[in-house]
Amino acid sequence: MELDGTPVSVVRTEGEVFAVNDICSHANVSLSEGEVEDCQIECWLHGSSFDLRTGKPSGLPATRPVPVYPVKIEGDDVLVSLNQES
């Protein structure tokens, strides 16, 4: 999805909801098309993984983190703030 022109991927895993910038810091492709496992989202193109809690890459070729955004759940609504957590 896009918020104010910023591509955001919202992910539910392990009972939590996370929001990260949807563009891989290495290859400029959509992270939301990748697999999610153990609080990691994997870039489908080159296999870099990013921690959904911190945005930090956990594998090459990516070396720069992706922005992580605060998430708040209100009833059935998922609210995402574009103020970065990391």
pLDDT digits (tens, 9 = 90+) for 35-72: 999 999 999 999 999 999 999 999 889 999 999 999 99
Residue with tokens 């009833």: 75
Look at residue 11 and tell me if it is in a domain: yes
Look at residue 86 and tell me if it is in a domain: no
Query: What's the average model confidence in pLDDT over 12-35?
Result: 95
pLDDT band at 85 (very low <50, low <70, confident <90, very high): low
Look at residue 17 and tell me if it is in a domain: yes
Q: Tally the domains of the chain.
A: 1
Look at residue 72 and tell me if it is in a domain: yes
Could you list the residue range(s) of the whole structural domain that residue 43 is in? 2-80
CATH number at residue 23: 2.102.10.10
Look at residue 85 and tell me if it is in a domain: no
